[in-house]
Structures are given as structure tokens and as C-alpha cells.
């Protein structure tokens, strides 16, 4: 059991096939589609506010241009974060982490993925401290999973607050050929996250034998969903949580 469930339906950037990714509309739709957890990407504004946005640049997913971290929160809040997806979403704004946690509390679990671009060498006042402090403010320590491709983040989060679960997002270049289970142990993580391309029957069996829960991204087809469930994944990140809900009921 993880987060009191046998299997997690994780809405990748929200229900991002049917609504603009990383917006409140996508998170609310994921909830309506019965996702257990939403995944979001986290970065810092130039004035140090944690905001939910995937790309380092604003250009593709808003009507702004340039790097997210060059703008203050009040400037980012003026942007249209939904129009690129469809005219009916022009009212969507870039959410802050605080806004998402405030909405998610009592509704849905949250996977906060801290983007490596937002990580500084100094943890003090950095994105890790800010994230943990918000999670504590909303008393969501047991409702949140924090992950990152930057392995330092995983360790720092545990040092700051051991009660918060962490997921090591596998990154080949950071791993120096180490085995998956060894990385999880080394960075004191609770979960192993990887692309569906990085887990075959053999790796899945090794993780299962070591009782390390693993979560796989980003899986959007029924055949791949079924395969990952057969491999024993504890959860799947998908842009289509409604589809995964139906498939997981069948399996
Ligand atoms: O956390 C899983 C997945 O979101 C990692 O890749 O680029 O979609 O953030 P990306
Ligand atoms: Mg992500």
C-alpha cells in the first residue's frame, strides 16, 4: 500500500490531454476523472515564489516570452496560460504552489516535481526549503510526494522533513551506471520514478524483490498501461487519467 492505495493514477501536469498542462483547470479535471494524485512541475520566480510551470521558457505555453525565472510573480500572473491550448481556457493563469496545495488539500494527493533549473547550491532559502515550508503550512506532509531529476534535492528534502515521501526521478547521466535500487538507497528515497522506456521485465522484478515502489511516466495508451501494471508498477503518470482509471479497473 502506498498513500493507502494499491495503485496510483497520477495525472501528469493534471489531465493535460484535455486541458492546458499545469493549470488549475487541468488539476480540477484530473480530480473529476478520479485521479489519485496530480503531478506538477515547480520553478521559482525572480522574486523567489514557487510557481507551477514545466518549460524553462514561457514562449510555448503562455503569451509571454523568455525565461520563467526572470519574471516576478505579479508579472507572470498577467500571462494567459491556457490560450495556447484552446480559446475556452484563456482565463487560466500560472498557479503558485500555494494555490494548488490550498485547492488539493482534502481532495487529491500531490506529486511536486522540483525542476533542476530551479535548484541552487545553497539550500537555505532555496526551492527545497520553500516547498517543505508550504507543505507544512498546509499540513500535507502525508499527502505529498516530492521528486526531482536532481538527486541532491531528494536528500535535502528528507533532511528537512523525514515525514515527506520522496521519489528519485531516474536520470542516466546522474546515475553513473548504478543500479536503480542502489540509487534509491543512496539518496534515501521512498519511490523510484522512471520513463516506461527505462523499465523492462528484469528491472521491474529487481525493484519488486527489493520492495521499492516504482512509478512510471508518461503512459497514454491502453497497451502500455496494461504492460506497466503487469510489471508491478505502483502507479502510472498519464496525461489521460480517465483512460487509466478504466484500464486499472479491468486489470
Ligand atoms: O515526474 C514525471 C515526469 O513529469 C518527468 O518528466 O519532463 O514531464 O517533467 P517531465
Ligand atoms: Mg514533470
Domain ranges of the chain: 8-250
Ligand 2 centroid to 218 CA: how many Å? Answer: 9
Convert the pLDDT of each residue in 237-248 to its tens digit. 999 999 999 999
Spell out which residues have Cβ within 5 A of ligand 2, the ion.
Answer: 41, 113
- The answer to whether the CB of 41 is under 6 A from ligand 1 is yes
Q: Do 150 and 76 touch, CB atoms closer than 8 A?
A: no
Q: Minimum-distance ligand to the CA of 171?
A: 1
- The answer to whether the CB of 217 is under 6 A from ligand 1 is yes
CA 6 to chain centre: 19
The superfamily (CATH) of domain 8-250 is Phosphatidylinositol (PI) phosphodiesterase (3.20.20.190)
Convert the pLDDT of each residue in 17-63 to its tens digit. 999 999 999 999 999 999 999 999 999 999 999 999 999 999 999 99
Report residue 108 as a C-alpha cell. Answer: 487529491
Convert the pLDDT of each residue in 81-140 to its tens digit. 999 999 999 999 999 999 999 999 999 999 999 999 999 988 888 999 999 999 999 999
Mean pLDDT across 176-201: 96
φ, ψ of residue 192 in degrees (nearest 5): -110, 125
Q: Which atom of ligand 1 is nearest to the CA of 147?
A: 1
Ligand 2 centroid to 226 CA: how many Å? Answer: 22
Q: Is the pLDDT of residue 1 over 90?
A: no
- The answer to whether the CB of 170 is under 6 A from ligand 1 is no
Question: Which secondary-structure segment (H or E) carries 156?
Answer: helix 151-160
How far apart CA 216 and CA 244 sit, in angstroms, is 13
Give, rounded to a whole angstrom, the gap between the first and last alpha carbons of the chain.
17
Mean pLDDT across 190-198: 98
Q: What is the pTM of this model?
A: 0.98
Amino acid at each position: 500500500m502506498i498513500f493507502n492505495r494499491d495503485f496510483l493514477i497520477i495525472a501528469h501536469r493534471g489531465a493535460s490531454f484535455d486541458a492546458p498542462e499545469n493549470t488549475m483547470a487541468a488539476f480540477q479535471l484530473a480530480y473529476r476523472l478520479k485521479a489519485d494524485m496530480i503531478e506538477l512541475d515547480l520553478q521559482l520566480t525572480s522574486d523567489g515564489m514557487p510557481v507551477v510551470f514545466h518549460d524553462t521558457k514561457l514562449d510555448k505555453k503562455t503569451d509571454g516570452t523568455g525565461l520563467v525565472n526572470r519574471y516576478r510573480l505579479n508579472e507572470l500572473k498577467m500571462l494567459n496560460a491556457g490560450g495556447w491550448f484552446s480559446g475556452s481556457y484563456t482565463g487560466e493563469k500560472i498557479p503558485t504552489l500555494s494555490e494548488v496545495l490550498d485547492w488539493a488539500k482534502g481532495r487529491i494527493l500531490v506529486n511536486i516535481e522540483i525542476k533542476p533549473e530551479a535548484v541552487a547550491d545553497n539550500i537555505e532559502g532555496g526551492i527545497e526549503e520553500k516547498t517543505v515550508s508550504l507543505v507544512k503550512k498546509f499540513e500535507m506532509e502525508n499527502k505529498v510526494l516530492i521528486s526531482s531529476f536532481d538527486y541532491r534535492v531528494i536528500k535535502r528534502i528528507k533532511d528537512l522533513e523525514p515525514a515527506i515521501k520522496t521519489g528519485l526521478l531516474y536520470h542516466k547521466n546522474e546515475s553513473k551506471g548504478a543500479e536503480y535500487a542502489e540509487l534509491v538507497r543512496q539518496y534515501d528515497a521512498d519511490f523510484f520514478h522512471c520513463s516506461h522506456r527505462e523499465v523492462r521485465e528484469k528491472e521491474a522484478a529487481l525493484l519488486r524483490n527489493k520492495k521499492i515502489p516504482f512509478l512510471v511516466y508518461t503512459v497514454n495508451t491502453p497497451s502500455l498501461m496494461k504492460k506497466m501494471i503487469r510489471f508491478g508498477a505502483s502507479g502510472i503518470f498519464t496525461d489521460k487519467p480517465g483512460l487509466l482509471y478504466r484500464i486499472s479497473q479491468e486489470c
